[in-house]
Amino acid sequence: MTIYEDIVEAKKQSTKKFGVLIDPDQIRLQSFETVLEQAIHHRVDYFFIGGSLVVNNKLDDVLQTIRQQSTIPLILFPGNSFQLSHEADALLFLSLISGRNPELLIGKHVVAAPFLKKSSLEVMSTGYILIDGGKPTTVSYMSNTTPIPADKYDIALCTALAGELLGLKMIYLEGGSGAQNPVSTKLVKTVSDGISVPLIVGGGIKTPEKAQAIAAAGADIIIVGNAIEHNPLLIGEMADAIHSYSRVN
Ligand code: 1GP
């Protein structure tokens, strides 16, 4: 089964997945070890690997280190077209459909396409939708795009629908890393009710309660980065909250 098939199957069963985001530039060695240990112990479903900048060349090292110690699938979540590696299992091929920056809608993809065609990475095309999280985030600044206002439910829904109709395999609602406010449950529900492809939600999720509420609202995969980087021991509570939702419903 491919990773995507597994995600689709989980969606059918209403089983929620938990992804831990690791930014190879940000992670400190000590917390990396704890994150890895906790993620294995608490059955994290995916590692998402990526960041907005590539300050150093740690991507391959980080991937290899995780690979040596676990079988958790490694999904590249690239901030730009240089963040590609054969060491991962899959790649979110992101098109920033909430923005109107042609480079991030198709330009970077053209550059990455020959590499991807040759690689064994599983490529999952994903409509990336940036939602205003209350303050400018790295992704809004770096992408030079305006996020969708947090209360414009219809715009977010129509954007996601357009992505699905264009053939994108998943939709990612992004509040931005370190967002003040995560994407609201109302917005998650509106989008989730209107589309049939899997829905990923991330950005500013700091508590297990919030993660569970977002899962309950219809997210299929919940991504947490910053909060875990600050406190890797949160992984257990987050995993329980997300996975227990799957079990009781
Ligand atoms: C993934 O960018 C997010 O969508 C991660 O955000 O670092 O705020 O959890 P945090």
Task: Look up residue 188 and give its two tokens.
Answer: 């998650």
> What's the pLDDT score for residue 180?
94
**Angle at CA 131, nearest 5°, toward 238 and 153?**
105
What lies within 8 Å, CB to CB, of 49 at 6+ separation is 21, 22, 24, 59, 62, 63, 74, 75, 76, 77, 88
Write the residue with the smallest CA distance to atom 2 of ligand 1: 177
| pLDDT above 70: residue 55 | no
Q: Is 203 in the pocket of ligand 1 (CB under 6 A)?
A: yes
Q: Is 223 in the pocket of ligand 1 (CB under 6 A)?
A: yes
By DSSP bridging, strand 221-224 and strand 17-22 are parallel
**Choice from 25, 138, 226 to test ligand 1 binding pocket (greatest atom count within 8 A of CB):** 226
Q: Which atom of ligand 1 is closest in space to residue 201's alpha carbon?
A: 4
| pLDDT above 80: residue 246 | no
**Burial track 42-74 (b if 16+ CB lie within 10 A, e otherwise):** bebbbbbbbbbebeeebbeebbebbeeeeebbb
Over the stretch 201-245, which tens digit does the pLDDT of each residue have? 999 999 999 999 999 999 999 999 999 999 999 999 999 999 998
Average the pLDDT over 126-152 and give the result.
Answer: 93
Over the stretch 75-85, which tens digit does the pLDDT of each residue have? 999 876 667 89
Report the percentage of the chain scoring pLDDT > 70: 96
- 29-41 vs 59-69: helix crossing angle, rounded to 10: 40
> What's the pLDDT score for residue 84?
86
Q: Is 26 in the pocket of ligand 1 (CB under 6 A)?
A: no
pTM of the model: 0.97
CA distance linking residue 91 with residue 137, whole number of Å? 23
Q: How far is the CA of 183 from the centre of ligand 1 (A)?
A: 11
Domains and their CATH numbers in the chain: 3-243 (3.20.20.390)
Give the residue from 85, 133, 77, 125 showing the smallest Cα distance to 105: 125
The most distant pair of C-alpha atoms in the chain lies apart, rounded to whole Å, by 45
Q: Is 229 in the pocket of ligand 1 (CB under 6 A)?
A: no
Helical H segments across the chain, by residue range: 3-12, 29-41, 59-69, 102, 108-118, 138-143, 153-165, 185-194, 208-216, 226-230, 234-248
Average the pLDDT over 3-16 and give the result.
Answer: 98
Q: Is 173 in the pocket of ligand 1 (CB under 6 A)?
A: no
Q: Is 227 in the pocket of ligand 1 (CB under 6 A)?
A: yes
